[in-house]
Amino acid sequence: MRLLPIILAALFAVGCQTAPVSYTVLNEQIASGKEVSPDALRESFLATADLASRLERLTDLEEQALAIVEDEPLKLGSIGSAILDTYYGSLTGHYILARFYTHLETPEAAAPHEAWVARIQSSMQEQADGSRERPLPAMTTVEARMYAVSKGWSPVGAIYQTSDTTVFSLLLQAKPASGAIRGLNFDLTPYYESIRQEFSGGEESRDFSPFTLIGLLAKQNDTAAQTAVGAFLATQDRLDDAVNWLRAASRTGNLLANSILARIYWEQARSTEDPDARVELLDEVLENYLHAIALGSADAMYALGVLYLNGQYGEDNLVSGVSLLQQAAALDNSDAEMFLAHLYYAGEVVEQNYATARTYYAKASSAGNPFARRAYARFLLDPSTMQNGDPDLLDALKDQAKDGDPESMVLVGNLYARGLGTNPSVRQAVRWFKKAVNHDSENASIVNEVAWTLAVSNNQQLRQPKYARRIMDHLMTANAEARMRPEYLDTWAATYAANGEFERAAELQKEALQIADSEEFQDVRDVLQAHLEDFQSGRTITEPVP
């Protein structure tokens, strides 16, 4: 409330730029039954001469309404009428009057207010979708929260943000009656600009920034601001101060504050060498994640589930970790779906089940998770799983390839080579392999995979030994780090053998064995030695790849 007088002059200036119709005139038109757009009404309201008193009264009334909207419907009538007397375009005013009349079982009285709620929502949605890139317009946080409430969602977390595209915004976490929590972004730039302009005449104006405003709001117990301050302090390694602000925010039921607290405590638990302190910190991690889970956070379910499965809370909680991941996956958390897919694929903690693994991979992939799509493809390409292809996955990987993802290009090539989800095509496979290498000819893992496939594949039509040697020559000359990796030297040697240059292949393979002499590479020494013996005997490597 103390900030309200500050914003008035700037809001008035913004409203006057297009010389809107008088707010009084528009109210008279509404009273006479004429249709007035929410946009026009808002613009005219901002241009009223007594905006200062109107806006202060409006915000005070809306905050009262927000506090009682769920629990005390009989008190909403007088507050709603007072809000609309102040500003007829208030989403809050129309929503609470619709609830009031519905509670009184007078649907004919509720109907016009319900219509206004729908029109105001539509007006906001026509301009944006609530994503970080296209935040919904809002004058204040009250309007943002009431937008969620009017959709039937419960606000459960909030944090202010700033970016290159949106100077000041609010990320609101809202929980529907069923299903996953929704993240809604609201553009509060006009609100911020009004505050900044008020400071323009003072010495402190040159230092005014979104962080200045967040600090002011945090001191007024704004939970979104407290969370933002805590998150910022954590990045500055001022953890004690960060924890104090985040605890204050978490007391109002802000799951984002709980989640950030849990991550801070987890980092401290990982770094401490004091076993007693570690136990206490892990208890804090558990408590904060459980608070966030109670508010419906699938991200917290996933994070705690991973800690359980990693044994941080003992062997007895491994099964609980699976249960938490399943809960998160039921709320369409693609990270949880990915983890479950891996567990069922590998048969870790759960009984191995390729069908279940595939289901989770497919769900995570369809959700647009780039890593999930690549992991799903490698699962299908694993001969031991004996899986059919998935045309939707092939299309998704092609889309990722268009965005410049070389690993997706290689996987598309592999799928064409094997005919998974498409007709087999050596020509298409080679085209995609070469496209990946051309995109980044010094990407060691990409070049190595392509060269190995084109040098040793048991599909003779797929073999491109000269090309394979050429790209490995370039990689191993240009990339000193790759030159010291035995697996890359092994591939390099195989490309020479594929071209009949066995003496050079043997030389390179001896280098690979020499580097692999350390304990780190003991598990691959037998393979490297077997390949050396092949090269020394004039034999090439042939394997069923991809």
List, for residues 31-75, the tens digit of each pLDDT value: 999 999 999 998 898 788 776 567 778 878 988 998 898 889 899
What distance in Å separates the CA atoms of residue 522 and residue 520, rounded to the nearest whole number? 6
- Beta-carbon count within 10 A of 31 CB: 9
Q: Give pLDDT, residue 312.
A: 96
Helix (H, G, I), strand (E, B) or coil at 204: helix
Fold of 443-546: 1.25.40
Q: Is residue 136 a contact partner of residue 127, using CB atoms and an 8 Å limit?
A: yes
Selection from 114, 72, 108 nearest residue 91 by Cα: 114
pLDDT tens, position by position, 487-516? 999 999 999 999 999 999 999 999 999 999
Q: For residue 148, give Cα distances in angstroms to 36, 176, 182.
A: 24, 9, 9
CB-neighbour burial class of residue 439 (10 A; exposed 0-12, middle 13-18, buried 19+): middle
**326-381 confidence digits (pLDDT tens):** 999 999 999 999 999 999 999 999 999 999 999 999 999 999 999 999 999 999 99
Quick one: pLDDT at residue 20? 75
What is the Cα gyration radius of the chain? 31
pLDDT tens sequence across 210-220: 999 999 999 98
pLDDT at 91 over 50: yes
Query: Residue 110 pLDDT more than 80?
Result: yes
Q: Average pLDDT in the 372-401 region?
A: 96
Domain residue spans in the chain?
1-126, 443-546
pTM: 0.84
Task: List residues bridging with 160 in a β-sheet.
Answer: 170
